[in-house]
Amino acid sequence: MRPVAVIGIGQVKIDEHWDLSLKELAGNAVFAAMQDAGRARVDSLFVGNMMSGSANRQQHLGSYIADWVGLRMHEAIRIEAACSSGAAAFRSAVMAVASGQLDSALAVGVEKMTDSPIAEITTELATAADADYESDMGTSFVALNALVMQRYIYEYGWKHADFANFSINAHANGVYNPFARFNSPITLDAFEKAHVVADPINILDASPVGDGAAAAVIVPLEEARSLNHTCIRVAGSGAATDTIAIHNRSNPLWLKAAELSSKQAYNQAGLSPVEIDLFEAHDAFTIMATLSLEACGFAEPGQGPRLAIENQIIPAGRIPISTRGGLKARGHPVGATGMYQIVEVVQQLRHEAGETQVPDARVGMAQNIGGSGSNIITHILVRED
Amino acid sequence: MEIPRHWRLKKQRYALVGEVCPHCEAKIFPPRDVCPHCSGEAKTPYQFSGQGEVYSYTVMNDAPAGFEENTPYTVAVVKLAEGPMVTAQLTDLGAEPVKIGMPVEMVTRRIRSDGNDRGMIVYGYKFRPVMQ
């Protein structure tokens, strides 16, 4: 295997894009990434997407997007791993170039969610869980996370307000990200009084859906070094699965797949959690950010909320998360989210993150969580000078 | 709606039929034919008692398509007396609030219907508080 690097990134603002289709969203991110990379062609296209078949009545996104962006005759496939589809596409692209089989790859995550009514989207999101034994019982995706959060609060004795800073930090950072769904800060008071979706999760614990696409160009490290770019090396890539249903886990409060995939990434990179300068965590819900921080070694089991309470997760803190808004404020267009995380880590490592720049960031981690923790993919990127 | 998929699950939905591992005697629900504890083949049917306790719960205020008419309703993870956990709705809740650790028992109820006169009605397990 040869080392690889990211030489171009592109993204579109996450929003309700009534005038843009699935392929146009993907195309805009792809063209931005190609322009950033300074190249007109790549060997291959890996499309991360969760629900285009049901939400947009369009499958076969490999050919569909390749055709639209002018990559006809090139290899192109779609990768699906629920909410972790974005990172799965990135990892596939990384492995393809690292193996030597391909000399360049473009990974794009895209989700076009406003083509379907919201109740249908809620149902489609629930297909990431076990259809027979979770979704058919009337559980939404929010409900599954609520079941975990309720038990977590019960076992470890936290209050709902102890999770507030996860969302407050995300929104504070999203103010400065022109690609974020929300550019407005929120207060503790607003957090505590927000509409409860599924007790104890309220609307400000939860990330918003939206239309979005983000992309990255991957080439061998040797080629990247010859370019006039800040070189961002993919130092670690790990992936692991867990039971599809939460009720089948021996400990539903521990993201085993996050622990395993982060350990793979740490080992490949030769790094430990204390050496991570920033972490784009999968804060789909405040409880998920909590469990991710614990499983990746940034907090003891049951102590994740302490990092938020003590403001260790802000850009100047010990382990900054959601530095560009996270899923909570940047938005969560499910199959695109993992690629937004990669794009944002690259921005941080290039020192292009503006007001929410993490000082002297050199090592960034991104973790994309599929389902209720049943498919988790972790990447570590390192700035080379 | 997908009739064969629901028909295939009738033993699980109506009678909580899972499996017991012939090697380590672990009780398994839902059935998965391979024991999650010892990894041995486990295809021996086993009917669960339906007794359990609430491991966690939530109240659904915003429901997925097909469940809107039931809101608000309570969903729980129930730890069965034999060991495994299962996700299900709670029903027959009186004035007493749901609590973690509360004893519950399985009952058969309407889970959802297709929403028109000719549509399929899906029945299955829910759990209710154990009568004191």
Q: What is the ipTM of this complex?
A: 0.96
From edge to edge, which strands make up the β-sheet containing A231-241? A75-79, A44-48, A105-111, A212-220, A4-11, A231-241, A375-384, A363-370, A278-280
Do the domains A125-208+235-384 and A4-117+210-231 match in fold?
A: yes
Looking at the fold, whether B41 and B65 belong to one and the same domain comes out as: no
Per-domain residue ranges for chain A? 4-117+210-231, 125-208+235-384
d(C-alpha A366, C-alpha A376), whole Å: 11
Report angle CA B78, B84, B85 to the nearest 5 degrees. Answer: 30
Burial class (CB in 10 A: 0-12, 13-18, 19+), A85: buried
**Residues paired with B76 in a beta bridge:** B57, B88
How many structural domains compose chain B?
Answer: 2
User: Which residues from chain A sit within 8 angstroms of residue B36, using beta carbons?
Assistant: 248
How far B80 CA lies from chain A's nearest CA (Å)?
A: 11
CATH H-level superfamily of A125-208+235-384: Thiolase/Chalcone synthase (3.40.47.10)
Q: Tell me the residues of chain B between 23 and 62 that have a Cβ less than 8 Å away from chain A.
A: 30, 36, 55-62
Q: Please give the single-letter amino acid code of residue A211.
A: D
B76 touches chain A (CB under 8 A): yes
Is the Cβ pair A154, B56 closer than 8 Å? yes
Interface mutation vs chain B, best among A116, A123, A139, most B CBs within 10 Å: A139
If asked whether residues B40 and B56 sit together in one domain, one would say no
Cβ contact A137–B70 (<8 Å): no
List the domain range (segments joined by +) for residue B78: 49-132
Q: How far apart are the first and last CA of chain A?
A: 22
Marked catalytic residue, from A83, A171, A231, A282: A83
CATH number, domain of B97, equals 2.40.50.840
Q: At the fourth CATH level, which superfamily is domain A4-117+210-231?
A: Thiolase/Chalcone synthase (3.40.47.10)
- Do both B131 and B71 map to the same domain? yes
Give the minimum alpha-carbon distance from B40 to chain A in angstroms, rounded to a whole number: 17
> Do residues B26 and B57 both lie within one domain?
no
Judge whether A351 counts as a catalytic residue: no
Separation of alpha carbons A251 and A265, rounded Å: 23
Nearest CB partner across the interface for A247, out of B68, B85, B124: B85
Same domain, B57 and B120: yes
How far is residue A58's CA from residue A38's CA, in Å, rounded to a whole number?
Answer: 30
pTM: 0.97
Residue B42 sits in the same domain as residue B90: no
- Chain B partners within 8 Å of A205 (Cβ): none
Residue in chain A closest to B9 (alpha carbons) equals A132
Residues B33 and B78 reside in one and the same domain: no
Digitized pLDDT (tens) for each residue of chain A, 385 residues in all:
999 999 999 999 999 999 999 999 999 999 999 999 999 899 999 999 999 999 999 999 999 999 999 999 999 999 999 999 999 999 999 999 999 999 999 999 999 999 999 888 988 999 999 999 999 999 999 999 999 999 999 999 999 999 999 999 999 999 999 999 999 999 999 999 999 999 999 999 999 999 999 999 999 999 999 998 899 999 999 999 999 999 999 999 999 999 999 999 999 999 999 999 999 999 999 999 999 999 999 999 999 999 999 999 999 999 999 999 999 999 999 999 999 999 999 999 999 999 999 999 999 999 999 999 999 999 999 999 8
B59 plus B114 within the same structural domain:
yes
Are B56 and B41 within one domain? no
Domain identity same for B96 and B121: yes
